Amino acid sequence: MKMRVLGRSGLVVSELALGTMVFGEGPPRGTDPQDAAAIIRRYLEAGGNHLDTADVYAGGRSEEIVGEAIAGRRDEVVLATKVRFSTGKGPNDAGLSRTHIVRGVEQSLRRLRTDHVDLLYMHTWDPLTDIGESLRAADDLVGAGKVGAIGVSNFKAWQLMKSLAVSDRFGWNRFVAAQYQHSLVVRDIEAEFLDLCSTEGIGMVPWSPLGGGFLSGKYRADQRPTDAGEGRLATQPADDEEAWDRRDTERNWAILAEVERIAVDLGATHSQVALAWLLAKPVVSSVIIGVRTMAQLDDNLGAAGLVLPPGEIAALDEVSAPPLGYPYRFMSLYGERRP
């Protein structure tokens, strides 16, 4: 597996990161602890070194499973976790206040059986807390050696840029990684975030690269999934980010048909083609594969050696291109300037 630098952090991570959101939830929606530990071992044996978890995954059980699995191998791993969402019933058990960030990190360290995490993400914006409060708390944790670097997830573009400006103003550690939903069927972030991250030296770390499993090729237009064993699309509410109703569109089926054509031509799987498309983007440092089974892991790992020809990348870009809204359409028509 190839290695890449995470933004300008100096951290070197494998091009595929192992997401652990469903570890500890148990089948059919998740992965039981024994199978999860085996998946982590297999991933590390395949050359991966980037493990991604969060304090709220499986109510904290995901962090415990990861901590148990990497005992004795901690130095081999770039370990990432997150803080922001509710971890208790109290009013201060959520958010990005200094209180919750510091308390959340301490609790994560206990579950992970380590004295530090390499990367701490702010899981989403907190409208109740001044971002300076959050960034100062994170900077103090870096200074204390409990956090190596900080990342951002699910902020708006202006919120991310404001955060960077505040960090620069006070000389605090700035975000080095950005975790956002990005796939052939969800390209919303491309209007702002790819350029933003590229110019600011932030490594993009896409999550849900297969569109909640849609791009794996196991679904058909006339067969709506209804059983939990068929994957997340079968059980998510209609308004969820990865709901079936968001995937069951004419555009998405056209994308999947193109993925299938390329997969057949290259002797690859649907998942490998979809992952390779993301890995071809220069700003992407590592793609999170959120596998539930060993078979899914083995399939996804095959993307590490797959290089899509330029023509196939262009074909996927074209079939999945999102509508160009204002002001981006205006800028493309009238904003070009040459010396």
Q: Is the pLDDT reported for residue 305 higher than 80? A: yes
DSSP state of 188: G
- Residue 229: its pLDDT value, please? 55
- Residue 197: its pLDDT value, please? 98
Distance CA 22, CA 32 (A): 9
- Residue 220: its pLDDT value, please? 79
* Cα–Cα distances in angstroms (integers) from residue 16 to residues 19, 144, 179, 240, 297, in the given order: 9, 29, 13, 25, 11
Residue spans of the domains in the chain: they are 3-219+271-306
Homologous superfamily of the 3-219+271-306 domain (CATH) = NADP-dependent oxidoreductase domain (3.20.20.100)
Q: What sign for the dihedral angle of Cα 337, 322, 185, 52?
A: positive
Q: Is the pLDDT reported for residue 119 higher than 90? A: yes
- Residue 234: its pLDDT value, please? 54
Reported as a single tens digit per residue, the pLDDT across 183-209 is 999 999 999 999 999 999 999 999 999
Tell me the catalytic residues: 57
State pTM to two decimals: 0.93
Mean pLDDT of 247-267: 93
Q: Is the pLDDT reported for residue 230 higher than 70? A: no
Tell me, rounded to whole angstroms, the distance of Cα 70 from its chain centroid. 20
Distance CA 253, CA 105 (A): 42
